[in-house]
Every structure is written in C-alpha cells, then in structure tokens.
Amino acid sequence: MKQLLFFAGLLCSLGLQAQVTGISVETYAVHDGSIDGLGGFTTYHVYANTTNSSDFVSAVYGDSENPMGITMDGDIFNSTPGFLYGSEINPAFFAAFPALEYDSWMTIGMMSALDAGVLGNIGLDGAMTDFTNTGSFYVDDPIGGSWYNTMPCDPLVTPDCINDYPQFGGADNKVLLAQITTNGSFSGVFNLQVFNGGDQSLNEYVNGLGFSTDPNAIFGCMDPAASNYDPTATNDDYSCVLPCTLELVVESVTSPTCSGDNDGSLVITATGAQGSDDYYLGEDDEQPSNFGNFNNLLAGTYYVMVEDNAGCQSSQYVEIPEVADVTVTASLSQAMTCNNTNDAIISVEGAGGDGNLQYYFAGDDPSTMTPNTEFPSLSAGNYTVIAVDGNGCSGSSVATQVSNPPAINVYVTGFSDASCANIADGQIVVSATGGAAPSTLNFEIDGELYNSSPIYIAAGTFTVNAVDVNGCTGTADGEVVIGPDAIEVNGSASAVACTDEENGSISWAPTGGAEGFEVVVGDSTLTGSSYDGLGVGFYTIEVTDANGCEATEIVEVLNAEPIVASTEVTNALCYGGDEGEVVITATGGTGAFQYSDDGNDFSNDNTFDDLQAGNYTFYAQDENGCIVGASAEVEEPAEMVVTGIVSSSDILWGEGFIDASVTGGTPDYSYEWTGPNI
C-alpha cells in the first residue's frame, strides 16, 4: 500500500479555477539491498494532483520570474547507463539491469518508452547535469527551461484518449512528474502548465507548487529581510520579496550607422533584481523584454525601465547620439585654361559621418573613391561629388560645372603697306573671338603684344596670333605681308693692296624700296656703284630711294696684312770660299710669295747659294706685288796660318823635330807632312 505524502502547493491564480490542487510525493519502493547498489535507498514518485480526470499537464517549467528546483539532502541514485527522462526507458532491459527500473528521472505521466506521448525538453542541459550528479538543480534564468508534452487529443478529448495518455489526471487524478531514488530526503518547487479539462483554450499556469519527502514541511519565504517573511516556513518556495535594490545599468549605446538610419541600439542590464527582470523601452511600453537589448533605433532620447519580480523599478533617460550628416561641398579651384586642355581642378571639403571620408564622382565606379580632396585633369562637364565615410554613409555635393573655353579664332580683315620698310605706319586690321572669359584678348606678332586693332607695324611678313589671360593662343590663317620691301644696300669693301696704302674700294648694289637710288658716302654724293682710292677705315653708305626712304650700311676697308720676311743663313766653309747659302721665307701679305736677290727678278725659289762671305738683301713679293726686304750676313772662317819651330840639335843623328802651330780655319785640324825622308 502506497504511503501518500501530500503537500498543498502555492497557487498563482490567473482568474481560472485551479485544476491542479498541489504536488504530492509517494513512496514507490523501499530497497532492502536485494538489488545490487540500492541498499538503503528509497524510490519516490512525485505527482501533480488534478481536480478532473481530463485535466492535462502540458509542461513543468522554471524561469527568472517563476524559478523551479529540487534540493536534496543525501545521494541520488542513477544506474548505468542511466536516463534523464521517463520516456527514454525500455523495460526490456529491467531483467538484465534490475536497478535501471529505479533510476531518477523527470517525466509527465510516462514511465517508459512504451507509454503513449512524446516528451520534449528545452533549456535544461545544465540543470539535468546537476540533478544527475547531486540530486539538486535550480532554474531561474530569463529564458528558463522545461520538459513538456503536446496535446494528443485535438480537438475533442475522449475517454479513450484520457485512458491512453498518462498526461491526463485519469481515474486517480494524478500525473507523474518525477521518479527520484535517494538515501536521503528532498524538497522542491515546480511550476505547471495545465489545460483544464483538456481544453487548450483554458490554459492555466500554476506556479510555486512545493513538495517534499517531509510531511511536516511548510513552504514560504525564509529570508527575514523580506517583506513576506514567514517565520513558520521550513522550506523556501522562492517567493521572498526583499527591499528594492534594483538598479538599471546602461551597458552600451550605439549610434545609428548613418544619419537618419534606424540601426542604433541600447543594451541595458540590472543589478539587485529579485527574480525575473523585465525591460521596457518607452513610457508607454506594454510589451516587456526578458533582455535589455533594444535594436533598430533612431537617434534620440529614450526612456528605459527595468522591473523585477518583486515589482521594484529603476528607470532613466538614455540618449542615442545623432550621427552628423555626411556633407560635401565642391568648388572649381581651377577652370580649364584653354579649349580642350582638360586641366580643370575641383576641390572638395567634407564633414560629418565618422570623419573618415573618401570621395568619388557620381556616375563613376565607387571603387575609384579616394581620400584626396583635389580632382585634377578634368574635362568639360557637370560633376557631383559623392562623399562616403567608413560606415558607408554618404552625402553629395551640388553639381559643379566645368566649362570648355571656346577656341580662339583670329581674323585679319585688312592691311596696308608702310611708307617705308622701317617705319611702323603699316596697318593690320584684326579681330578675335573665344578664349577665357571675361578677359580681353591681346594680339601678338613676333613676341610683341598689342592690345587693340589696327596694329601699326613696319614692313615684313607676319603671323598674327591672339592671346587670352591664360596664355592660350589662336592664329590667323596665312601670313600677312606688309610692304614695301626693305632697302638693302648690299655694300662691300675691298682691302688695300699693301699695308697702309690708299687703294682700297667700296661698292653697293641697292635693292628693295622704290627705284631711283641716291648714294652718299661721307660728304660725297655718288652716281656709280663703287668708290675707289680709299685708305684703311670704316665708311657709311647711305642710300635714299625715290620715296625718300633711307637705308645705311657701314663697310670696312681692311688693311693688308704686313709681310714679314726672315732669312736662314748657311756660312762659307773656308776663308774666301763661295759655299754660303741663304733661305728666305715670308708670312702675311696676300696669296703666294716669290723671291728675289735684287728686287727686280722674282721667282718661286727662295734659296740663294754659292755665296761668299758678305752682307746681302733679299726680297719677298706677294700676289699684290707688295715687296719687303730681309738682310742676311754670310760669314767665313779666318784665314788658316801654320807656324813652326825647327830643332837644330842632333840633326845629324836624325833626332831633330818641328813644332807646328795652326790658327784660323775651323778646328779640329788634321795634318799632312812632306819633306826629306818623310
């Protein structure tokens, strides 16, 4: 006969008549040691007690608002391999493993895999590990955990369905929730979801149901600091309401990625919460969140509040900062200088966003973006600059126009000759269009600028250009010829024939101007084409044409280069001999030289020989007949004189001698002797 240990649970009414009256603990088996490992252990069954046989227990659960748990004083029994839930057990193994029948596990009605129903679980991995190891567990996190069954009889609950599924109260109005085998005692608190009469629309949550192996257990708040402290309680039912110590903590504030985006976020937590804590965003928020993670927010000020299970509240206003708009301004820092030069420059200034801005032109590939704030080498067109920050936020500038200056066109509409070639009274009438606005175009001829038309200019052949403020140019078609032709004197001079003579001449052959030239040299008006008998010097030839236009040219009558003659002498070999020789050479003058020893007869031979000692003058003559003399002295040795001293002693004996002395001639000497017996 089962010993019934029943304990009334604390019911949390939801406005429905409670269909679960409590949780009871019954002794299922007291072990005497006949099964190995179970000596001294007792197996208990924990039941939900229902009012009606058709009441259906759907789930056993716990969370931060309604914690559940078991506290064990003693050892829990689990065989090998062991199971966590009654629906996992196969009775076929009991014969081989008899202790397996008395494992400790959780369930809703089912004692084996043969019973009808499908038992699921969620969020209990850690709790079941604790239960397996110690017999105790506690579930109080916001997500919570549960084991549960789904309603098998839908939409009608029939007697057969009630009899087939042990999740219904059945004939004894009891639904098995756990089998626990221990050598000590335990107590706990479960929370149940029940379908009253099997009707899912009559869903009831029955919270804070206490149970214990101690028939005298009294469940209540055991904390003296709590407002609902029960001094008679022997077991904690997790219902204590303590003085409020709840404080809201702002963990993080994240601004939206870009201005106007709604991807900002707030993360808030709480300290000092009693039981569950619910988080609210906005003063009118009626949908609390188990977690203080609020996403998809615009920038602004938000009211946030946390409330715990004891009704304590903490709130504050939190600002999500606005991200500054990405702004960009573009300006034309350099216009195109000339037509089609494509050298415009746009400068940009950006601000806002995260400050890490890059830029590119609208219509270009975004991969071309750059942190550079100048865009050079631009052609004509409209340019809109896109600025992008590190988060991809963007802004755009007002379009900046780059204009192509019109090409410079130059038109010569008339011209007239100058009065004289060197007088700037000729005219070129010119106009021009285009160029960089609004500057006035200047005209350019041979590097000289003119700011108006007509252009007064001397005679010549000219290319007419127009130049704008940027130095861009345009050129008129063809060349402009302004007459008359310049007077060219075409003067020349002939040098004097010989140095410092006055037989030089000058000549002229004027061209250009108007026919009928008058030529003046010095004070003389000349009618021919030359002027002779001139000495060395400079002469100015002045030519005046029939129109009175003048031209001058200075010519120089050069001096003939002086003739410099020199001689090289070879002396006579002997006194009175004619072996002497003179070689004359000359430099300067004009052309080749001829030579003479008398100044009259000249030849190409410059060597004069067979000369005796004496002083001579030789002559050199150039091609102009200019003659210069050069002196030369041919020398000879002194006359050679031999003197001797004759010895007078011992002549008879052949021992006499002559001592000879030689002067004159050219040493060294050689001797030849003649005489008796020599």
Tell me: pLDDT of 667 over 90: no
The mean pLDDT of the chain is: 91
CATH number of the domain encompassing residue 372: 2.60.40.10
- 506 and 477 within one domain: no
What is the total count of domains within the chain?
5
CATH number of the domain encompassing residue 527: 2.60.40
- 50 and 8 within one domain: yes
Q: Give residue 649's pLDDT band: very low, low, confident or very high (50, 70, 90).
A: low
- 222 and 77 within one domain: yes
Has residue 201 been placed in a domain? yes
Has residue 531 been placed in a domain? yes
Question: How many beta carbons lie within 10 A of that of residue 431, not counting itself?
Answer: 14
- Going by the DSSP 8-state scheme, the letter that residue 88 receives in this structure is G
Of 320, 339, 360, the last residue of a domain is: 320
Has residue 73 been placed in a domain? yes
Going by their DSSP bridges, the two strands 185-195 and 68-73 should be labelled as antiparallel
Has residue 677 been placed in a domain? no
- Going by the DSSP 8-state scheme, the letter that residue 370 receives in this structure is B
Has residue 640 been placed in a domain? no
- 158 and 93 within one domain: yes
Sign of CA dihedral 93, 95, 100, 105: positive
- 385 and 346 within one domain: yes
Of 320, 341, 360, the last residue of a domain is: 320
Q: Give residue 9's pLDDT band: very low, low, confident or very high (50, 70, 90).
A: very low
- 254 and 227 within one domain: no
Has residue 630 been placed in a domain? no
Range of 394's domain? 327-402
- Cα(641)–Cα(396) distance, rounded to whole angstroms? 128
DSSP string spanning 175-242?
Answer: EEEEEEEESSEEEEEEEEEEEGGG-TTSEEEEEEEEEES-TT--EEB--TTSTTB-TT-SEE-S---P
- 283 and 164 within one domain: no
Tell me: pLDDT of 13 over 50: no
Tell me: pLDDT of 26 over 70: yes
State residue 327 phi and psi, 5-degree precision. -120, 150
pLDDT at 14: 34
CATH number of the domain encompassing residue 251: 2.60.40.1080
- In which residue are the tokens 């050219």 written? 666
- 10 and 144 within one domain: yes
Position with higher pLDDT, 650 vs 517: 517
- Going by the DSSP 8-state scheme, the letter that residue 362 receives in this structure is T
- 443 and 371 within one domain: no
- 457 and 514 within one domain: no
State residue 643 phi and psi, 5-degree precision. -125, 150
What global pTM score does this model have?
A: 0.52
DSSP string spanning 293-343?
Answer: EEEEE-SEEEEEEEEETTS-EEEEEEEEPPPPPPEEEEEEEE---STT---
The distance of Cα 599 from the centroid of its chain, to the nearest Å, equals 95
Has residue 432 been placed in a domain? yes
Has residue 533 been placed in a domain? yes
Of 320, 350, 367, the last residue of a domain is: 320
- 506 and 394 within one domain: no
- 13 and 110 within one domain: yes
pLDDT at 484: 93
pLDDT at 652: 57
Q: Give residue 559's pLDDT band: very low, low, confident or very high (50, 70, 90).
A: very high
Residues 245-296: pLDDT tens digits? Answer: 999 999 999 999 999 999 999 999 999 988 888 999 999 998 999 899 999 9
3-state secondary structure of 38: coil
